[in-house]
Amino acid sequence: MPVITLYFERLAGLLGSEVSREEIVDRIPYLGLDIEEQTREYVRVEYNPNRPDYSTDYGIARGLNGLLDLRLGTPHYQVKSDGFKISVESNVKNVRPFIVGAITRDLRLDDETIRQLIAMQEDLHMGIGRRRAKVAIGLHNLDKIVPPLNYRAVGVDFSFVPLGSNRSMQIPEILQETEPGRLYGEIVRSKGSYPMITDSRGEVLSFPPIINGELTKLTPNTKNLFIDVTGTDSKAVDDALAILVAALHDAGGSIYSVMVTNQDSIKRSPDFTPTIRSFEMDFCNRLLGLDLNKEQMISNLGRARIDAKAHDGVIEASIPRYRTDILHPVDLVEEVALGYGIQNFTVTLPATVTSGASNAIQRLLDGIREALVGLSMIEVMNFNLLDDSLLYTKMNREGRSTLRVEGPKSSEHEVLRDRLLPSLLATLGGNVHEEYPQRIFEVGKVYVKEGGGRMATQENYHVAAAIAHSSANYSEIKSTMDSLLGSGLLDDFTFRTAKCQPFASGRTAAVLADNITVGYVGEVSPETLANLSLKVPVGAFEIDVSVLPKK
C-alpha cells in the first residue's frame, strides 16, 4: 500500500488551529491510516487504496481538521473561468477517448510541495490510473502554452522534443529510447495512432500516457499550472482531476476551469458539485449497533467532512467530489462511524445463541494424527506448492506436473503437489544430521486435474508416513500402516504386489479396499534415496483418505 510522509511543520500550516504533535499522531489511525515510522520532524503513514485523496498531506489535513473539530463539513472550491479551451478530435475515440483539464494560478511551489504533487501524481497513476492505462496525468507550465489546445491522434511519424531531451524524436524512438516509453509503450503501441495534446502553435504539451513535451516543463519558479488528465474511463479521469485539483487548491492555488469541446458536446472541468446520496438512519444505527439521533448523525458526518441534512428518518449527504470511494449508502455509514470515533465504540455480543460444531473431515484427519502420534511419529508440514523436479525427477516418475502456477517468484513454488511423499522424503533428506530412527508423517491436501468437471481441479486429503534408520524395512512400515488402517479407517483391506515410484521394485504393495486402491506402501528405491542424499533405508506409505469407503 502507498506510503506518504507528513511533516509536522507543514501540517501546522494546514490545520485550523495549533495542535500538538502527540494529538496529531494520536488521531492519525482513526482516519484509517497506519503509522509506519515516526520522528520529531515527520510521521510516515500508509493510506488505503480506496482513499487516493490521502495521497498528499493536503488531503490528510482535510481529514484531521474534521476529526479534531477544527473544520467541519464539505469543503468548498471556487472555480473561476478565463475561457481556456481544448478541442477534441474524433480520431482519439478508439485510442484514448477522454480528456479533462484544469488551471491553477498563483501557486507557490516550494521543493516539498513539488515533491508531494509528483508523489500524488505517481500514486494516482498506479491506483485509479491502473499503471497509466486507465488514467494519466500531465502537469504543465501554463505560461509556455498558447491556447486553445487540441487533442487528437497522430501517425507514427509525428515528432517532438520529449521531456528531458534536447532534440526532436519520432514516436517509435520515444517508445524505445525514453524510460516511460519502455514502461508504458505497451498501452498505445497496438492502436496504430497516438494521442497528442498540442497548443495553438502546434507545440506538443503531452503524448499521453507516455511523456510530456520539454516545452512545458515545471521549474521551481512555475506559478501557473495547466493539468491534463486523459484516459479510457470518463468517471476515472474526472475522479483523478478532482483529487489533484483539490490538493492544488489547498496548496494555495486559484482554480480556473477548462472547456473541453467535442463534435457533439461541451464539458467544463473540473466539476466540484457535491454528489447527493441518502441513507436511512435506522439502517445506519442497526449496522453500527448505535442509537444516534439525526443531530448526532449530521455532526458525525460533518467531522468526516461531509455536509448532511435530515428529513423523515433519512439523512441526505453532500459528498465532496474528491471522495471517489463512496459507492453505496453503507460507505456513508462508515463515515458516521469514523466521525463518531472508532475508539468510542464499546463492544457488545450478538443476542442470539448458537452452538459450535466440528467438521467431519477434520475429525477424521484428527483421528489419523492421533493414531500416528501414538505410533511415535512426528508430524511435519510441507508446502502445497513445490518444485517440479522433486515431484517427478527425484522420485523417478515419468512426465511432469500438470498443475503449474503462472510466473512464480521462486522455482521452489511452481507446481501443486499431487502426492505427499516427495516432500516427506525431502524432509528426511534435510534431516540427515539428526538422530535416527526418524519417524515422520504428514496429513494434507493434494491436487489433480478434474476430468472435465466444473471447477477444473480436484483436491483430496492424503496421509503419508516414513520411517528411516539403518535397518528400516518393508515389514516395519507395513506394520505401521496396518495399525493405522486397522484403527478404524478400514474394516477390510488387502495388500497386493504392485509397482509405484518412488518405491523399489519387488518391495512395493498396493493397498486395496473393495477393489479400489487406497494407497501404496514399500521400501523407497535406492535411486530416490540417492537423489535425496539419504544414507539409510526408508520405509514409507501414502493413503488417499478421500477414497476410503464411507462407513
Binders of another protein in range 357-396 (CB under 8 A): 357-359, 361-362, 366, 369, 372-385
Segment interacting with another protein, rule: CB under 8 A, options 116-124, 181-189, 294-302, 323-331: 323-331
- Tell whether residue 407 is a contact of another protein (CB under 8 A): yes
351 binds another protein (CB under 8 A): yes
User: For the chain, how many residues are written?
Assistant: 551
Rule CB under 8 A: choose which of 76, 276, 345, 535 binds another protein.
345
Interface residue with another protein, options 327, 515, 550, 551 (CB under 8 A): 327
> What residues between 270 and 289 interact with another protein by CB under 8 A?
286-289
- Check binding of 313 to another protein (CB under 8 A): no
Neighbours of 209 (CB within 10 A): 25
# residues contacting another protein (CB under 8 A):
93
| 353 contributes a contact to another protein by CB under 8 A | yes
By beta-carbon proximity to another protein, the closer residue of 288 and 512 is: 288
- Shortest separation between residue 20's beta carbon and another protein, angstroms: 20
* Among residues 122, 331, 388, 476, the one that binds another protein under rule CB under 8 A: 331
Instruction: Tell me the per-residue interface mask from 113 to 142 with another protein, x by CB under 8 A, - otherwise.
Output: -------------xx--x---x--------
When binding is defined by CB under 8 A, the residue of 14, 161, 218, 290 that contacts another protein is: 290
DSSP states of 20-45 = -HHHHHHHGGGGT-EEEEE-SSEEEE
Give the span between the Cα atoms of 111 and 219, in whole angstroms: 10
34-38 and 42-46 strand pairing: antiparallel
Q: Identify the bridge partners of residue 35 per DSSP, sorted by sequence position.
A: 45
349 interacts with another protein by CB under 8 A: yes
Among 311, 350, 398, 492, binds another protein (CB under 8 A): 350
Footprint of another protein on residues 480-519 (CB under 8 A)? none
3 state DSSP class of 347: coil
Q: Does 337 bind another protein (CB under 8 A)?
A: yes
Site for another protein in 24-43 (CB under 8 A): 29-32, 34
Judged by CB under 8 A, the chain residues 210 through 239 that form the site for another protein are 233, 235
Q: Report the 10 Å Cβ neighbour count for 477.
A: 23
Backbone dihedral region of 14: left (phi > 0), alpha (psi from -120 to 50 degrees) or beta?
alpha
If one asks whether residue 476 binds another protein (CB under 8 A), the answer comes out as: no
Task: Identify whether 422 is preceded by a cis peptide bond (ω within 30 of 0).
Answer: no
Restricting to residues 441-470, which ones interact with another protein according to CB under 8 A?
Answer: 445, 447, 449, 452-457, 459
C-alpha cell at 178: 525514453
Q: Is 110 in the site for another protein (CB under 8 A)?
A: no
Classify the C-alpha dihedral 493-495-496-498 as positive or negative.
positive
In this complex, which beta carbon is closest to another protein, that of residue 90 or of residue 376?
376
CA–CA gap between residue 56 and residue 118 (Å, rounded): 10
- Nearest distance from C-beta of residue 450 to another protein, angstroms: 9
Longest Cα pair distance anywhere in the chain, in angstroms?
A: 93
Packing angle between helix 294-303 and helix 57-67, nearest 10 degrees?
150
| Placement of cell 493397498 in the chain | 511
> Is residue 330 close enough to count as binding another protein by CB under 8 A?
yes
d(CA 461, CA 446): 6
Instruction: Tell me the closest approach of the beta carbon of residue 224 to another protein, in angstroms.
Output: 33
Closest separation in Å from C-beta 172 to another protein: 28
From the list 522, 508, 511, the residue with the least C-alpha distance to 472 is 522
How far does CA 376 lie from the centroid of its chain? Answer: 44
Q: How far is the CB of 412 from another protein (least distance, A)?
A: 8
Is omega for the bond preceding 437 within 30 degrees of 0, making it cis?
Answer: yes
Residue 164, phi-psi category: left (phi > 0), alpha (psi -120 to 50), beta (remainder) = left
- Give yes or no for residue 65 binding another protein (CB under 8 A): no
